[in-house]
A and B are shown apart, each in its own frame.
Chain A
Amino acid sequence: GENVEQHPSTLSVQEGDSAVIKCTYSDSASNYFPWYKQELGKGPQLIIDIRSNVGEKKDQRIAVTLNKTAKHFSLHITETQPEDSAVYFCAASNSGGGADGLTFGKGTHLIIQP
């Protein structure tokens, strides 16, 4: 089945700086890669996703890049703000033959220092 590795586990950046979180996946047949933000006591909320036919996608201060050859994808947050502090999860779709659904990374705790 799919395996997703996420780094770093904790990331502390100064407010206004950029943050980058990286994930690798194992199954070359995976074709959908969402990123979720989870605030304390809440469920994960989708913030951006990318499909395998696209190399980059941007939504205001958030961008995701995908390198299918290397099987890795990254989340970029620019001009970080205090409300960006949360746990971020990457995920990859389970490919055919496995259960429908997503395989998640272990999460990155992003801390924005004022």
Chain B
Amino acid sequence: NAGVTQTPKFRILKIGQSMTLQCTQDMNHNYMYWYRQDPGMGLKLIYYSVGAGITDKGEVPNGYNVSRSTTEDFPLRLELAAPSQTSVYFCASSYLGVLDSNQPQHFGDGTRLSIL
């Protein structure tokens, strides 16, 4: 199993550009999450999904969109990139959610995104 795979690993965008961060998992997990990590800070939840076709906002959803058309994939989209979105983005997955069963989350290795 590859676990959680994120692409690309690095990306530089200009202000106003758009892009999609890809995340795929091969563990047949129901739950998937997107976090952002700013320097010296913990991870903050952007969006999460409890299954295909269902998404919900986390703590910091503004400026982002997500979709979940399959169990495996959970892409994160930035429509109008802003400097405040410069961060490292982590995707995670778990079989069930922490509210349901305290399932551990498995993380990808992140996408480093710079908005200039």
Contacts and interface: CB of A to CB of B under 8 A. Distances in A.
Interface in B45-67: 45, 48, 50, 56-59
A32 B98 CA distance: 7
Contacts of B42: 4, 6, 89, 91, 103-107
A101 interface: yes
Contact of A100 (B35, B97, B106, B107): B97
A53 B12 CA distance: 45
B75 interface: no
B26 interface: no
Contacts of A49: 102, 104
A98 to B, nearest CB: 9
Interface residues of A, number: 31
Interface of B: 4, 31, 33, 35, 40-45, 48, 50, 56-59, 90, 92, 97-100, 102, 104-110
18 contacts: A32-B98, A43-B4, A43-B92, A43-B110, A46-B106, A49-B104, A51-B102, A89-B42, A93-B98, A94-B99, A99-B45, A99-B48, A99-B58, A99-B59, A103-B42, A106-B40, A106-B41, A107-B40
